């Protein structure tokens, strides 16, 4: 059971339910109605630097309002400004919700829940990052498109004419969708910070990186042709393509060339992820991974965000996270987003720790992240 004994947090929960009108009005007044922009290697909001700590959550588009509200309340209590949520649910429904059951068919069961998440973000002053498709099979993904069009494998997603058209059609619908809670088109809503082309795209059949580069160049330009308000990122893991490098994340084996992707003209900032457990590396290895991306982002002239990170050993996690976040601050990184903030379920029990990376508030890891968030926020006064 998640016991919320903190009076402040209980107060914030009342806010998310709309029960405390005075404080709610103050939050609404402080929430920026402007779009996040970039200036060199920094994000800006209302003409001021916008540094941030944030998080990720994958269930906003099929779970209840109560569960969504709880995560937003935890974010406010932890000083978090940005959350990355999924903008896709392709093929089969998940708990009776689906967004695109077939190409070109867009279902209200999922989209109405995304509407609510965007509406709630606007209420609380949180900014959203939303990718359009998944590299992986969860919630459909690129393989679902390949099955729909009887294409030859995962990487056909990037080159098959029918798939590319279906992806563009989906993007067009999302950007022009009118939110049923706000009456505002997605492309006009400042609650959204950025669109991402995909979650963790890879194209291992082309180790030159060209397939993914060409697709990202085309699709990012397409998004910008419709929506000039929002930032666009690739959403990739930050893999380098350094020929002969002995370490897998640097060697280019997944068909990702992070520096070239980040430098594309319609890409506004770079993303990178960090999972030493999954990549066969140590926590200490991650220190240089962070430094390398901030350094190379500075050379490219764009902000970079550690937008997913996780470490599974809970006995060491707090120290590892503190080290990584301290490095981001020391090297003037633009932002961080840990994986994954979850809250309560409808029966008030904690959402299960399915992947071993769950962070809950209150908790020791949440405190470390919250302290980091406070220091990042101090670098961007009055931006929230």
Radius of gyration of the chain (CA): 20
SS (H, E, C) 9-49: HHHHHHHHCCCCHHHHHHHHHHCCCCCCEEECCEEEECCEE
Active site residue 200: yes
What's the CA gap between 301 and 73, in Å, rounded? 34
The 10s digit of each residue's pLDDT in 109-122 is 999 999 999 999 99
Active site residue 378: no
In CATH, the number for domain 36-379 is: 3.20.20.80
The 10s digit of each residue's pLDDT in 186-196 is 999 999 999 99
Active-site annotation holder among 92, 95, 200, 254 = 200
The 10s digit of each residue's pLDDT in 215-225 is 999 999 999 99
Active-site annotation holder among 196, 254, 307, 308 = 308
The 10s digit of each residue's pLDDT in 335-370 is 999 999 999 999 999 999 999 999 999 999 999 999
What's the CA gap between 65 and 84, in Å, rounded? 17
Maximum distance among all Cα pairs of the chain, rounded to whole angstroms: 61
**Mean of pLDDT over the chain:** 93
pLDDT-derived band at 381 (thresholds 50, 70, 90) equals: low
- Residue partners of 148: CB distance under 8 A and separation at least 6: 102, 103, 163, 166
**pTM of structure:** 0.93
What's the CA gap between 308 and 376, in Å, rounded? 17
Geometric angle at alpha carbon 138, from 88 and 116, rounded to 5°: 35
CA-to-CA dists, residue 87 to 39, 57, 186, 243, angstroms = 26, 11, 12, 34
What's the CA gap between 33 and 182, in Å, rounded? 13
β-pairing verdict for 37-39 and 127-131: unpaired
Strand partners, 43: 38
Q: What is the pLDDT of residue 31?
A: 65
The 10s digit of each residue's pLDDT in 71-104 is 999 999 999 999 999 999 999 999 999 999 999 9
pLDDT-derived band at 22 (thresholds 50, 70, 90) equals: very low
Q: Where are the domains of the chain?
A: 36-379
What's the CA gap between 41 and 43, in Å, rounded? 7
Mean pLDDT of 245-264: 97
């Amino acid at each position: 059971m998640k016991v919320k004994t903190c009076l402040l947090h209980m107060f914030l929960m009342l806010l998310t339910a709309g029960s405390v009108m005075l404080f709610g009005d103050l939050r609404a007044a402080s929430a920026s109605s402007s779009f996040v922009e970039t200036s060199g290697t920094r994000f800006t909001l209302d003409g001021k630097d916008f540094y941030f700590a944030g998080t990720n959550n994958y269930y906003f588009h099929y779970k209840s309002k109560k569960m969504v509200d709880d995560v937003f309340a935890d974010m406010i209590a932890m000083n978090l400004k940005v959350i990355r949520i999924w903008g896709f649910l392709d093929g089969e429904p998940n708990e009776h919700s689906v967004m695109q059951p077939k190409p070109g068919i867009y279902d209200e069961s999922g989209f109405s829940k995304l509407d609510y998440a965007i509406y709630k973000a606007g209420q609380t002053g949180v900014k959203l990052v939303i990718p359009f498709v998944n590299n992986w099979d969860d919630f459909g993904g690129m393989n679902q498109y390949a099955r729909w069009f009887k294409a030859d494998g995962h990487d056909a997603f990037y080159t098959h004419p029918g798939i590319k058209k279906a992806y563009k059609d989906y993007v067009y619908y999302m950007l022009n969708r009118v939110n049923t809670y706000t009456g505002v088109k997605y492309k006009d809503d400042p609650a959204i910070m950025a669109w991402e082309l995909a979650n963790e795209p890879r194209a291992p059949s082309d180790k030159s990186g060209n397939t993914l580069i060409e697709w990202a160049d085309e699709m990012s330009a397409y998004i910008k042709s419709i929506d000039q308000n929002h930032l666009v990122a690739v959403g990739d893991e930050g893999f380098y393509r350094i020929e002969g490098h002995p370490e897998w994340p640097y060697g280019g084996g997944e068909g990702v060339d992070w520096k070239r992707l980040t430098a594309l003209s319609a890409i506004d900032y770079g993303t990178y992820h960090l999972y030493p457990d999954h990549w066969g590396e140590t926590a200490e290895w991650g220190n240089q991974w962070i430094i390398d991306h901030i350094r190379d982002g500075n050379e490219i002239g764009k902000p970079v965000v550690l937008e997913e990170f996780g470490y599974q050993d809970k006995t060491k996690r707090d120290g590892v996270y503190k080290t990584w976040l301290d490095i981001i601050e020391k090297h003037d990184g633009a932002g961080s987003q840990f994986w994954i903030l979850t809250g309560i379920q409808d029966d008030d029990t904690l959402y299960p720790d399915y992947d071993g990376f769950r962070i809950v508030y209150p908790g020791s890891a949440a405190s470390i992240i919250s302290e980091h968030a406070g220091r990042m926020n101090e670098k961007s006064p009055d931006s929230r």
